[in-house]
Amino acid sequence: MTASAELRGDELIARRRLPADPERVWDAFTSPASIAAFWGGSHATVPPESVTVDLRPGGEFALDTRAPDGATRRLRFVYVSIAAPRELVFDEPVTGLRTTVTVQPADDGTDLTVHQRRLPPELRITQAADGLASILDALATHLQHREATPEWRTS
């Protein structure tokens, strides 16, 4: 299964069934090493040393994305609410974009929904939807890799 993403006016909604329990999915969204492993999707890389997480309402997380041409962009978000391991809400302070990450148990893993609201006009395009879907697919790959790698081999 791959992620699906749908644009609706100033909203973008992406969904993906993931091969992991909700706690592992939650950890992936809140651990700097995991964020670096999947956040760029198929269109960018994230240097692990660039990721910072202050997991509390009002706290920030930030990261650098590096495009294939070498261009780097700093992304910064502020946590609005945290309800581990079910829901994470954060805003991008420059544009006002609000992202809600919802994690729900499913029979064979976890159903993940990423709902972005107040998309700025430049992100109301198919490329943005495809980019978000590729991030969720990269997350699935990351979770499968982590499952296949014994914990003692990842340190």
Confidence at residue 150, expressed as pLDDT on a 0 to 100 scale: 43
Contact assessment for residue 61 and residue 67, using Cβ atoms and an 8 Å cutoff = no
Which of the four pLDDT bands, split at 50, 70 and 90, describes residue 114? very high
Let me know if residue 154 belongs to a domain.
Answer: no
**Alpha carbon distance 19, 147 (integer Å):** 9
CATH number where 118 lies: 3.30.530.20
99 domain-assigned: yes
Is pLDDT at 109 greater than 60 in this prediction? yes
Q: Give me the DSSP letters along 62-94.
A: EEEEE-TTS-EEEEEEEEEEEETTTEEEEE-TT
Domain that holds residue 21: 4-149
Residue 152's pLDDT is 37
C-alpha R_g of the chain: 15
Cα 47 from chain centroid?
15
**pLDDT at residue 27 greater than cutoff 50:** yes
For residues 87-111, give the mean pLDDT. 97
| Confidence class for position 155, pLDDT limits 50, 70, 90 | very low
Whether residue 155 lies inside any domain: the answer is no
Asked if residue 87 lies in contact with residue 102, where contact means CB atoms within 8 angstroms, the answer is yes
The number of folded domains in the chain is: 1
Q: How much is the pTM?
A: 0.91
The phi-psi region of residue 141 (left if phi > 0; otherwise alpha if psi is between -120 and 50; otherwise beta) is alpha
Assess if residue 130 is contained within a domain.
yes
Q: What is the mean pLDDT of residues 124-137?
A: 95
Instruction: Check whether 151 has a pLDDT greater than 70.
Output: no
Residue 31 has what pLDDT?
96
pLDDT in tens, 32-86: 999 999 999 998 999 999 999 999 999 999 999 999 999 999 999 999 999 999 9
